[in-house]
Structure 1
């Protein structure tokens, strides 16, 4: 019997959304895939493509590699480029993505959660200082994922 402290049952498919799909949402996608393996379909997207940008942000690649997640093959995509829109849960990480998630799911029974997540690209200073900002976001997302989905 489940207690009140148990996480809810796992959804079949989870989508993480942010602004450009280069920083926060690919981090969350990779972390949940690492946590749950193939028990849940996980994808990520952004609102729009960042002009001239390819792949995950280099700092994202670096801090995710530290924990064994390879994002070197990540290809950013937008909501419009999703191959399948059949998600049970959409987790938006920015206010703008939350607005779009609500629009996307207006006529479907989809759970939507908003996890406001700091933008580490705003950090300045040395390379190490900037990497620390990305690590903070990675670690905060990992903690939130454990809280939401259990320790798997």
Structure 2
């Protein structure tokens, strides 16, 4: 009887553990999607303090006009050289590979660039790396697409 109880206990623990592990990727995906949406709000609001915390020191940013690191991206946002006014998100997908999350957004971005308001369809790739209990952005890349974002 004692053996049966012990077996039953370990079976329940194993099932619960397997269930928790199977929910972990979905939970991480939702966390990344929420973080990405919040990042777009911070960019629109020029909230460079929150963005500075989110962006890893080694982060890279790829735009239509070039690529650069964290310091320059923060300066660009703070100065308003690029003002990310609104990102209309049409679709989102997330892939988790180990401690790395790759998010793809299909968006229409309304921005002010060089004093001109522009709207462009993009596929945006965001790469996040889990560090401790939080996520840091390692890369943000804009790829302009020819047809309107859907």
TM-score range, shorter chain: under 0.3
The structure where strand makes up a greater share of residues is 2
Q: Which has the higher contact order (CA 8 A, sep 6+)?
A: 1
TM-score (norm 1): 0.27
TM-score (norm 2): 0.27
